[in-house]
A = this chain, B = another copy of it.
């Protein structure tokens, strides 16, 4: 007789918990023993109960999933942990795995994908849902990978630019010469290979580099 994995679901959305529960109910290898809404509750739960498998949201209030995973794996390396999120970002997935995660699944994954991942992860594999696989396997043209970062002064200036300030206004506000601000502007545009501030602001906001 196969082992039945005592499984805990951690997510701050009751709906998601309910959804996963419904899905896992069909699998005979897992048994849901806990439905928790925060990382703190999870840590407490593990202290006092037998747990074999954890499905956890990465974006949890207070503690983030990566740190939570690391903490748990340090004390209980035998527990299998699968991370979940709505959107996936390459670096985030990598971080999660590097901190001991056994898999990463997007919430947009189909039921079938979900089931497959669970089945494979208990075989000892590191599992990813299809979309995650696509994202992490992209060769990532090396130059596109490292997005240059802004220096302190450059951040000051881009922030003011995004508020519609002109070069002169920025110079006044930061007690700099008009010409200095102009130099910074040029450097910033060059850094991101953008033609003008409009494109620059769009790029920064889309890459969460502003604020």
- Interface, chain A (partner B; CB < 8 A): 12-23, 86, 107-111, 114, 161-166, 194-202, 205-206, 210
Closest to A17 in B: B19
Picked from B19, B165, B200, B205, the residue with its CB within 8 Å of the CB of A18 is B19
Give the distance in Å from the alpha carbon of A195 to the alpha carbon of B197 in the complex.
13
Give the distance in Å from the alpha carbon of A110 to the alpha carbon of B111 in the complex.
23
Find chain B residues with CB under 8 A from A108 CB: 12-14
How far, in Å, is A134 (CB) from chain B's closest CB?
15
Q: 18 A-B residue contacts at CB 8 Å?
A: A13-B19, A13-B107, A14-B19, A14-B108, A14-B111, A14-B114, A15-B107, A15-B109, A16-B19, A19-B19, A161-B198, A163-B202, A164-B196, A164-B198, A164-B200, A197-B197, A201-B201, A201-B202
Give the distance in Å from the alpha carbon of A196 to the alpha carbon of B15 in the complex.
42
Find chain B residues with CB under 8 A from A198 CB: 161-162, 164, 197-198, 200-201
Give the distance in Å from the alpha carbon of A110 to the alpha carbon of B35 in the complex.
13
How far, in Å, is A90 (CB) from chain B's closest CB?
18
